[in-house]
Amino acid sequence: MRKKARINRREVWNMKIAVAGTGYVGLVTGVCLASKGHHVTCVDVDEAKIQMMQKGISPIYEEGLEELMHESMDNLTFTTDYASAYKDANVIFIGVGTPEKKDGSANLTYVYKVAKQIAETVEHDCVVVVKSTVPIGTNDKVEAYLNANLAHDVQISVASNPEFLAQGTAVRDTLHAARIVLGVETEQAGTVLKEVYADFDAPILVTNRRSAEMIKYASNDFLALKISYINEIANLCEIVGANVEDVAKGMGYDPRIGNRFLNSGIGYGGSCFPKDTKALSWLASFNDNEMKTIKAAIEVNEGQKLKLIKKARKYYDEFEGLTVAVLGLTFKPGTDDLREAPSLVNIPLLLDDGAKVKAWDPVGVKNFKKHYPDEIEYCDTIEETITDADICFIFTEWEDVTQFDVNLYKKLMKKPIILDGRNCYSIEDFRGTGMTYDSIGRQCIQEA
């Protein structure tokens, strides 16, 4: 039995894999597959990005990605020439974006663009794997589209293989995933994909395609719901004098609840939770259904993002002429991604009100400058940012912030009022220091 398994594996071991899209999902998938010995061609329309990657430079900041890219370069090709990549691939992954449309639904333009290119170019039987997050039923439609448009006489199966990687830990999350979900309608697609992932350290769950598509949305939306839930609890903790961190800890001991994703703060951001909650909610209403819990999670999150601004009004009637220090611009630490980051909601409000904004972020400044090239004073250090500030907003829990000597706020700020949207410090660090420290779901120390 064992021998057979080994022989089978060798037969498909050096698979030719094409990956469409070199964003977080596509690039990380491609590099991780190459690191396991597959021959991977990553395809993108962006010539400049392809040239960077050919030189071994990752266009995104992701821990360990560039190193793994260098190690796996023998198995990696980067190209804009999709025809050469798809024509004889055993497996083609679609990892392009499915951005949110104005009505909240997922925009599938890029998925179908790739499907069209695949249909025109594949010359051998292959499995097309949809990794992008797509509404339930999309895989069926992609398969029907391919079958109706294939230029050559080949057999194609479409499989759903949703991605669960989180930014900042994407490589680890892919190589050591909590689970690999394979949504297939044919045995052959399941067999091929199990071989693709044979060397990955993760349990494999095989389902039908629609269930796999739903697992992705249901998982992301559940995590978003968990965050909004703890944020609402945090808001109530502030009113009734409880401490949300202790509350979350107490809840987390219960294995039915679990202790992760119970950190309260100024809401979730990023490329997934905001988009996927809206997409599932849209999909439900489109089918005359209503996802009441998800709608509530979205609403709570939108309010939560404004929490620090509301707190700031307790200390200043207006921001005109104030120097405001901002620590952290990205939606979370470990990434340079700004999508749906609270900083993008709050900083315009501060600027509109006439505040002078000084901002620091270890990796997010380059991207933030694309939105605000001149309106903000970007600083290289936390010390420089808080110097002479009238108030400080913390939006991202970068380690530089959590490890920062809190006495320096008192020493350097004009008025040491710190609004912490990520509960970076213990409130005890501020008691009796003459500073004001206002965080989320915990007692406010008001001494400045």
**Residues with catalytic roles:** 272
Question: Residue 374 is encoded by which pair of tokens?
Answer: 């001149």
Considering the complex, what minimum distance in angstroms separates the CB of residue 300 from ligand UDX? 11
CB closer to ligand UDX out of 118 and 165: 165
CB closer to ligand UDX out of 145 and 261: 261
Among 261, 315, 316, 372, binds ligand UDX (CB under 6 A): 261
- 85-93, 94-102, 161-169, 359-367 -> range binding ligand UDX (CB under 6 A): 161-169
CB closer to ligand UDX out of 217 and 319: 217
CB closer to ligand UDX out of 1 and 178: 178
Task: Check binding of 262 to ligand UDX (CB under 6 A).
Answer: yes
Task: Check binding of 270 to ligand UDX (CB under 6 A).
Answer: yes
CB closer to ligand UDX out of 78 and 331: 331
CA distances from 413 to 385, 392, 397 (A): 9, 9, 20
- Decide: 188 and 81 in contact? Cβ < 8 Å: no
Distance CA 225, CA 205 (A): 24
Task: Check binding of 306 to ligand UDX (CB under 6 A).
Answer: no
Task: Check binding of 110 to ligand UDX (CB under 6 A).
Answer: no
CA 333 to chain CA mean position, Å: 11
- Decide: 408 and 416 in contact? Cβ < 8 Å: no
Distance CA 168, CA 332 (A): 9
Task: Check binding of 227 to ligand UDX (CB under 6 A).
Answer: yes
Task: Check binding of 268 to ligand UDX (CB under 6 A).
Answer: yes
CB closer to ligand UDX out of 132 and 436: 132
Which residues have CB under 8 Å from 317's CB, separation 6+? none
Task: Check binding of 275 to ligand UDX (CB under 6 A).
Answer: no
Q: Which residues of 202-227 are buried (b: 16+ CB within 10 A; e: fewer)?
A: beeebbebbebbbbbbebbbebbbbb
Considering the complex, what minimum distance in angstroms separates the CB of residue 260 from ligand UDX? 7
- Decide: 54 and 81 in contact? Cβ < 8 Å: no
Considering the complex, what minimum distance in angstroms separates the CB of residue 214 from ligand UDX? 15
CB closer to ligand UDX out of 272 and 419: 272
Distance CA 123, CA 295 (A): 45
Task: Check binding of 263 to ligand UDX (CB under 6 A).
Answer: yes
Distance CA 95, CA 42 (A): 10
Task: Check binding of 163 to ligand UDX (CB under 6 A).
Answer: yes
Residue 309: other Cβ atoms inside 10 A: 18
- 207-215, 256-264, 387-395, 413-421 -> range binding ligand UDX (CB under 6 A): 256-264
Among 90, 167, 174, 346, binds ligand UDX (CB under 6 A): 167
Instruction: Supply the DSSP string of 193-258, one letter for each residue.
Output: HHHHTTTSSS-EEEE-HHHHHHHHHHHHHHHHHHHHHHHHHHHHHHHHT--HHHHHHHHHTSTTT-
Considering the complex, what minimum distance in angstroms separates the CB of residue 419 from ligand UDX? 16
- 153-161, 235-243, 263-271, 361-369 -> range binding ligand UDX (CB under 6 A): 263-271
With tokens 């995590």, the residue in question is: 223
Distance CA 55, CA 70 (A): 9
Question: Residue 116 is encoded by which pair of tokens?
Answer: 């069209």
Distance CA 150, CA 20 (A): 18
Task: Check binding of 217 to ligand UDX (CB under 6 A).
Answer: no
Task: Check binding of 331 to ligand UDX (CB under 6 A).
Answer: yes
Residues of this chain that interact with ligand UDX (CB under 6 A) are 163-167, 220, 223, 227, 261-263, 265, 268-270, 272-273, 331-332
